[in-house]
Amino acid sequence: MKLVSEGAEGRIEATGEAKARSGAAPAKGLKDLYLRLTRPAHGLIVQGMALSALSVAFGFVPYLVAIAIAQKALAGSMFDAQALALMVGASVVCAVASRLLFGIGTGVCHRADADFRVNARHILLDHFSRLPLGWFSDRTSSEAKQAVSDDVLGMHQSVGHAPTDLVNAVLTPLVPLAYLFAVDWRLSLLLVGYLVVVVAVSMPFMMRDYSSLSKQYNAANVELSASVVEMVEGIEVVKAFGSSKRAGGRFRAAAQNLADVTYTWTKLSAGPFSLLAASISPGMMLALIGLASCLFVMNGWCDFATCVPFLVLGANIPSGIMAVSASMGFLRLAKQNLEHIAEVLAVDHLPEKGDAEDLPSGGLDVVFDRVSFAYSSDSSPALCDIDVRLAPGTVTALVGGSGSGKTTFARLIPRFWDPVSGAVRIGGKDLREASSESVLSKAAVVFQESMMLGVSIRDNIKLARPAASDAEMVEAAKAAQIHERIMELPLGYDTVIGSSDGSLSGGEAQRVAIARALIQDAPILVLDEATAHADPENETAIQEALGNLVRGRTTVVIAHRLNTVIHADRILVMESGRIVEEGTHEQLLEARGRYAGLWEAQQAGACFAGHDGKDLV
């Protein structure tokens, strides 16, 4: 059987191509992305650049005053005291104004950087919200964290400093050069020629192995982030088993690798950069200009007064080149960050038609029409040719060993992924033809791990339906057997999850998640092993809450303990992505097949442990 349809193959290949791009996005694409991410900050960036340009103009005035005084003195005369005081005063004012304008411009660009960060993170989070969940399961959370936090922060230089710095770096040499060309084009040409030769010789050495090293640096950063996340998430297990040294091996190796790559990069560029800095240092420039001035004066090509502007201005002209060179390292890192953001944003969303319709109201059935699914084109199929209908208002249990396809089956219902062949239908409508908002409003999910946001319990319960009244919220909490526990907290429903007064156990958090599903009032319910980590006291409360939740809803229950689903209307036994048996508890026991074997094994284990499970449904 051909598992992957042609259209699905195209989608998978496109995603694979996006993954394969390791930051080598086309320059135009990166430029467009940069403009998109910085769109709210464009006005402020332009203001900062204009202030930086003004600072260069004001900063040039003291040099003009110094040149005028020196040339006057060489001519054997001097300005009167009043004029001299006025010129010196103007120089001081302009010098102070230059620094103030540049500082204000940089401050404006930092405000622009704040706007950029907000916009970039909104774009990324909106993109993440529309990605298939498979993208997250294929990667560690560090990649998403790197894009939203590290990459956005790493672009600070390109927004908060580069606009003002580059304007200053470009105009600082250009304005004096324009003036010097007006004074004597021959000396100016000699000066420019020297700078061009020095930069042309140095740059190839400074950029040596840039492409290879930048990819290594990016990969080393991702690996370090992943190892840090792994260490933090597994710290309890690591400490409990006293294996912190061995468990930290990946982190230490990643940190050492990043240090090695950084050292190699620095070693390759430090020599050429030092040579460039020495070749255009003020002392070297003064020596060069002094030598050239002597040559020109001795040959009668100009007088010494003509050389004064070059001696005053020439030594500082290369400062702009050094400023650009110093910023290039930061800008290269910013480019790498932008390339990684581009790679993340290149991952395809779940496709949604422009004319997508809402699902029908009322009791809804769920149909799997010859559904097959694989997480990638080269992975084993997670589901194979599933053909089943879940009638409205019935409870269907999914049982089977780990990796049998239960979770994949259940998560195709709220369209966490699209099948690669076949169709999933709710109320007779293919989910690919319905709007995502409609699908998610019709299917409530209670996960094995209850996810609580760091907001009030009130907001956590109302997450699916913010417009719900407080009376509806309390009614849902009571049905979920969590109202009394919430009222014991100092701030009741206003208690913030994770605060010093807002600590809930895993079972209590699970009941808050059930209240959230109740207030959503969706006609379809998916329960992913909802009592897996509950203690006996919490399990009883959770089971009672779930009994209230499933009533009248088309429900799919994933269960490992079979005695919790013996009263389900239908039990599907899954193995290797296929339904191998189906029926009621009694029918499957009579069939003496796979289910009967699982039941007997669990009953023997329960008797040995002296534990009687309670019905979930």
**Same-domain pairing of 96 and 233:** no
Statement to judge: residues 134 and 196 lie in one domain: no
Report the distance separating Cα 294 and Cα 159, nearest Å.
45
Share of the chain above pLDDT 70, in %: 85
Measured in whole angstroms, the distance separating CA 90 from the mean position of its chain's CA atoms is: 50
Residue 17 domain-assigned (yes or no)? no
Q: Would 353 be classed as within a structural domain?
A: no
* Boundary-marking domain end, from 348, 381, 408: 348
CA 412 from chain centre, in angstroms, equals 25
Q: What are the DSSP E strand ranges found in 36-159? A: none
- Same domain for 195 and 137, yes or no, is no
Judge if 80 and 176 occupy the same domain. yes
Q: What is the mean pLDDT of residues 564-578?
A: 90
Same domain for 537 and 399: yes
CA distances from 290 to 76, 277, 286, 299, 425 (A): 22, 19, 6, 14, 84
- Give me the chain's average pLDDT, please: 82
Domain boundary among 348, 381, 403: 348
* Residues 191 and 138 occupy one common structural domain: no
The CATH number for 588's domain is: 3.40.50.300
> Taking the mean position of all CA atoms in its chain, how far away is CA 127?
9
Paired sense of beta strands 570-575 and 554-558, if any: unpaired
Residue with tokens 């009638």: 391
**Is pLDDT above 90 for 50?**
yes
* pLDDT, tens digit, 9 for 90 and up, residues 6-20: 333 333 333 333 333
* pLDDT, average across residues 163-180: 90
Pairing of strands 383-390, 524-528: unpaired
Mean pLDDT of 464-471: 88
308 within domain boundaries: no
H helix or E strand, kind and range, residue 444: strand 443-446
Report pLDDT for 23.
40
Q: Is residue 553 part of a domain?
A: yes
Are the CB atoms for 64 and 151 separated by under 8 Å?
no
Q: Which residue has the higher pLDDT, 270 or 299?
A: 299
In the numeric block, the tokens 């309890």 are attached to: 236
- Verify that 264 and 386 share a domain, yes or no: no
| Shared-domain flag, residues 110 and 43 | yes
Same domain, 263 and 142: no
User: 207 and 147: one domain?
Assistant: no
Is 118 part of any domain? yes
Residue type, 436: S
**What is the tens place of the pLDDT at every residue in 93-120?**
999 999 999 999 999 999 999 999 999 9
List, for residues 79-89, the tens digit of each pLDDT value.
888 999 999 99
Has residue 134 got a pLDDT over 70? no
User: Which pLDDT does position 27 carry in this prediction?
Assistant: 63
Q: Which domain range does residue 172 map to? A: 22-183+330-348
Tell me if 399 is assigned to some domain: yes
Total domains in the chain come to: 3
Q: What is the pLDDT of residues 547-560, one digit of tens each?
A: 777 788 899 988 88
Q: Are residues 166 and 247 in the same domain?
A: no
Task: Determine, yes or no, domain membership for 471.
Answer: yes
- Model pLDDT, residue 78: 87
The reported pLDDT for the residue numbered 585 is 92
Residue 318 lies in a domain: no
Look at residue 351 in the predicted model and tell me its pLDDT. 80
- Whether the pLDDT of residue 216 is over 90: the answer is no
Closest CA to 316 of 59, 607, 133, 579: 59
Residue 261: CATH number of its domain: 1.20.1560.10
- Output the pLDDT for position 582: 93
Q: Within its chain, how far is the Cα of 245 from the centroid?
A: 30
Same-domain status, 421 and 277: no
> Tens digit of pLDDT for each residue in 524-552?
988 887 655 555 555 666 677 777 777 88
pLDDT of 491 strictly over 50: yes
Place of tokens 């502007």: 309
pLDDT in tens, 402-439: 888 998 999 899 888 889 999 999 999 999 888 888 88
Q: Are 474 and 525 in contact (CB under 8 A)?
A: no
Over 90: is that where the pLDDT of 350 sits?
A: no
Task: Render 540-570 in DSSP notation, one character per residue.
Answer: HHHHHHHHHHHTTSEEEEE-SSGGGSTT-SE
